[in-house]
Amino acid sequence: MRPTAHAVNAVKVLIFVGRDSLCFPEIGKKQNERGLTSIKSGARQKRTYVNRIVLATMPDDRIREEIIGEFFFNTCQLGRRVNDDDVRACRRCIEIAGQKFRRADDVEYGYVPLLTGSVPEFYIEPMLSCVGDVDVMCHRSNQLAIPAGYTPPRQLPGEFGSHVEVYEIVNSEFPGYVYLWLSYLLKESVDDGKYNAVQCERLLAENGSSDADDSRHGPALINGQTVVSVDLGLRQAGSQRFVDNVFCMRCLLWPPQAADWPTRHRTYGWPDSATIGRVVSNGCDVVGVAHRLCRQDEWTRKRQWRLSFSRGEIVLLNSWMPIQQIVYHMLRIFVKIERLTASANNSRAGTLSNYHIKTLMLWACELKSRSWWTDDLNLVRICVELLHALAVWLTDAHCQHYFINNCNCFDQFENLVTANRLMSVNRALFSEWCIHSYIYISMP
């Protein structure tokens, strides 16, 4: 669907008002003069002017959807600029990587950080920030996880030390959740740099949870505006956003629990073979968090871990088309503003998380054809259809994990309130939301 000239002119004024750096002289000198006059009259008059422009150019839903699409396509810049979130995240990684520790037996180790979550996943820069909390995963340089029954490796990347504990990943009763058993000790040979393995007493690893720790948010540890890392004793104060420090154990191999993912049939060719190869070569991580149904059991909640595919998700999301990144951003903002996601003030069972939205998008990118996304470039249509698909998942109480076949990401959804709210959203309502809850509030 090609936007009409009327809609294009209207959205150009919206963009001009929203970003001081953009100017569209082709709108017309008089229209620009009216816009500049309104801008100078203050923020309140500016927003009133924008609303008047929007309302005046919307005789039907089609034009309104065109305007919304043009707004997002023209204001979501490709290639994010370095901002405070990036600087803060890099500073945190440098702090973590610079710390060294020594055990009682004189073995030295450190932590290896990795930025995950919104910062590395998005390559667009929309009007409203697409970055939530800054997520830093870190694994110890003297610990390694391998699938149960696998032979310990003889060679390791340089990030690992000369003495490494090897833990076997053993399935729990819940798919995607595992236990870690210390099974081998690796020691690097000074002659050839290869590692020699010896079996050791099998011990079950604890995941770092504590009765006194009331600041956990999933596997991450947060503490208000002061950020405390896992087992590092480092603090960072005064952040505008939280920094989530996620302790994990590194697994260099693709886990058997997701063995079917690389080879399953993909009708529309996404992800392609090269992207699949990059994802698999990254292996996975194991993060210290128990299944929701096990968190009241004192023994299990301290010893259960979860498989994490954050490294692969970064690769996959960066292979998306711009329209897919924009839709992902819009859906995340929608469920956040509508208070459908879990937060410090809204953590009841039945709320959504950003991971559910990410899972929805990953499945949509694989199961929908390229033409479904690009034929009419209608962001409103795409978002509403995906929200309805999510409502069906909620109604069925089943959200299929993207990597693990028999894993349901909806482990405790007890009512249909959220499903009914999502199913009630039609294109007209979503268009209204885009105008009043996104475009309007994004105006500086």
Write out pLDDT tens, residues 204-253: 999 986 543 434 444 443 333 223 333 333 323 333 456 778 899 999 99
What's the pLDDT band for 51 if we cut at 50, 70, 90? low
pLDDT number for residue 233:
34
Rounded to a whole number of angstroms, the CA Rg of the chain reads 24
Q: What is the pLDDT of residues 103-135, one digit of tens each?
A: 888 889 999 999 998 889 999 999 888 776 778
CA torsion sign for 293, 297, 301, 306 is negative
pLDDT number for residue 442:
83
Phi, psi (degrees; rounded to nearest 5) at 25: -65, -20
Asked if residue 27 has pLDDT above 90, the reply is: no
Residues 105 and 246 in one domain: yes
Count of structural domains, the chain = 3
Question: Tokens at residue 413, please?
Answer: 């959804």
Q: How many residues does the chain have?
A: 444
Task: Report how far residue 363's alpha carbon sits from residue 360's, in angstroms, rounded to the nearest whole number.
Answer: 5
**In a domain? residue 418:** yes
71-75, 84-88, 366-370, 426-430: range with lowest mean pLDDT = 84-88
For 75-88, b/e burial (b = at least 16 CB within 10 A) is bbeeebeeeebbeb
Residues 131 and 235 in one domain: yes
**In a domain? residue 61:** yes
pLDDT number for residue 236:
37
Residues 268 and 221 in one domain: yes
Domain end marker among 75, 99, 130: 75
Residues 221 and 335 in one domain: no
**In a domain? residue 188:** yes
Residues 155 and 264 in one domain: yes
pLDDT number for residue 39:
32
Task: Report how far residue 47's alpha carbon sits from residue 65's, in angstroms, rounded to the nearest whole number.
Answer: 20
Residues 273 and 347 in one domain: no
What's the pLDDT band for 83 if we cut at 50, 70, 90? confident
pLDDT number for residue 58:
57
Domain range for 342 is 320-442
**In a domain? residue 299:** no
**In a domain? residue 306:** no
pTM summary value: 0.83
Q: What is the pLDDT of residues 251-297, one digit of tens each?
A: 999 999 999 999 999 999 999 999 999 999 999 999 999 998 898 89
Q: What DSSP letter does each residue of 95-132 carry, written as one string?
A: HHHT-EEE-TTS-EEEEEEEEETHHHH--EE-SS----
Q: 262 near 255, Cβ under 8 Å? A: no
**In a domain? residue 392:** yes
Domain end marker among 31, 57, 75: 75
Residues 235 and 263 in one domain: yes
Query: Quick one: average pLDDT of 410-427?
Result: 84
pLDDT number for residue 87:
82
Query: Quick one: average pLDDT of 409-413?
Result: 75
Query: Quick one: average pLDDT of 185-195?
Result: 95
Query: Quick one: average pLDDT of 337-352?
Result: 64
Residues 106 and 31 in one domain: no
Residues 416 and 267 in one domain: no
Residues 51 and 178 in one domain: no
Residues 179 and 228 in one domain: yes
E strand intervals along 237-300: 243-251, 284-287
What average pLDDT is seen over the chain?
81
